[in-house]
Structures are given as structure tokens and as C-alpha cells.
Amino acid sequence: MRLIIALFLPWLTFFTIGRPITGVICLLLQITLIGWIPATIWAVYALSQYKTDQKIEKALNQRRAEPP
């Protein structure tokens, strides 16, 4: 669902992953017609980084939960 948002409303993606200041900057970029494509690419990249960070955090939490 976030990927679809990243393609059509890139600035909103940043708000859904907890980066509102970046979302405002992206919105300013997206307002220009030429800036729409870079804003979309930026949002998709940020979303992939967010997912990677979530996977790493999950793996670290699982490792901490294991007994020594």
C-alpha cells in the first residue's frame, strides 16, 4: 500500500514512515511538474530503506530474546 502511495503521492509516504519534515520538502519538490519524478524516486528509495531498517530491528530483537 505504501508503494502505491509513493508512486502517486510521494510526500505522503514520508509522513507514513514518520519523517514529516522530509515530507514537506518532498511536497515542495513535487509541486513542480519536473520535480514529480525525482520526488517519486526519492519516496520509493526512502520506503525501501524504512523496510530494511524494520527487518534489521526485528532481527536484532529476536537475537536479544534468545537465551545465551
What is the per-residue pLDDT for 45?
94
Cα(45)–Cα(40) distance, integer angstroms: 9
What digits encode the pLDDT tens for the residues 15-68? 999 999 999 998 998 888 788 889 989 999 999 999 999 999 999 998 887 776
Burial class (CB in 10 A: 0-12, 13-18, 19+), 11: buried
Whole-structure pTM value: 0.76
